[in-house]
Amino acid sequence: MKKNDPRIKILFSIALIITSLILSKISFIIPILTIIISISLIGGKFSETVSYLSFFKYILPIIFIINWIFYASGGTIFSINLKIFEISLTYGGLFKSSLICLRLMTIAFAAAWLVVTTPPEEFEYGLKKLGFPWKLAFISSLTMKLIPEMKRKFREIDEAQRGRGVESGGNPIQRIRKKVPILVPFLASISRYGLELSQVLKVRGFSSDRTWFKELEFEKTD
């Protein structure tokens, strides 16, 4: 098998993800997270992987705090008494929440690393060789290919609306409302693409019963 055989990467990522879900001790998960970060650093793909996860920095703190409150157990560090209920930050909650967040980070990182290091076509070929139905694999690799295009379209729409007086800023509610003129055309363009996709697939003779050019590439290095 070729050194960079996509199957290895896919299986490796899945193994990491499953392991981090099974383990219930922080002291075990940290090494796993360290492994995947080190691999990405060695491969030179660390910063790219991190950029894929940029939206995470908004979600992670929220998840952390919510779980900290929710899994209250053990000694209380701090508590607020609101008329209806009491919010306590406990040691037990801190522990559980850290576990959950570390797991999430590991899974997200492993998944993002897979996407960054594997060209969609290799990913697809790897899935197929592992026994997945090809149509499913193709759809996932096509989605991967489309991500940068969708990012670009989103930006173009944002710029178009700025030319009509949409300014950034304001309180959170105002900010969300301002996303509507961007989201609507964006979703419209995605659905247009979906409609055209079936025509494009037909034109290109889409068929599950096919040969594999990638085989040549992987055979050569044997």
Is residue 91 at the binding interface for another protein, with CB under 8 A as the rule?
no
- Report d(CA 8, CA 197) in Å as an integer: 31
Is residue 156 at the binding interface for another protein, with CB under 8 A as the rule?
yes
Is residue 27 at the binding interface for another protein, with CB under 8 A as the rule?
no
Q: Which residue from 99, 120, 126, 137 is in contact with another protein, where contact means CB under 8 A?
A: 120
Q: Which residue from 54, 172, 202, 222 is in contact with another protein, where contact means CB under 8 A?
A: 202
Is residue 121 at the binding interface for another protein, with CB under 8 A as the rule?
yes
Shortest Cβ 113–another protein spacing (Å): 17
Nearer to another protein, 64 or 214 (CB): 214
Cα dist. 212→6, 48, 121, 185 in Å? 15, 29, 11, 37
- Report d(CA 22, CA 110) in Å as an integer: 15
- DSSP per residue over 136-173, as a string? HHHHHHHHHHHHHHHHHHHHHHHHHHHTTT----S-HH
Q: Let me know if 22 is exposed, middle or buried by CB neighbors in 10 A (0-12, 13-18, 19+).
A: exposed
Is residue 194 at the binding interface for another protein, with CB under 8 A as the rule?
no
Give yes or no for a contact between 118 and 11, defined as CB atoms under 8 angstroms apart: no
Strand partners, 88: 79
Hey, which residues between 36 and 75 contact another protein (CB under 8 A)? Answer: none
Is residue 5 at the binding interface for another protein, with CB under 8 A as the rule?
no
Shortest Cβ 95–another protein spacing (Å): 39
The stretch among 33-41, 75-83, 91-99, 160-168 that binds another protein (CB under 8 A) is 160-168
Strand partners, 87: 80
Q: Which residue from 31, 44, 209, 222 is in contact with another protein, where contact means CB under 8 A?
A: 209
Q: Which residue from 74, 119, 133, 170 is in contact with another protein, where contact means CB under 8 A?
A: 119
- Report d(CA 66, CA 89) in Å as an integer: 10
Q: Given the rule CB under 8 A, which residues bind another protein?
A: 119-121, 142, 145, 148-149, 153, 156-157, 159-167, 180-181, 183-185, 188-189, 192-193, 195-196, 198-207, 209-216
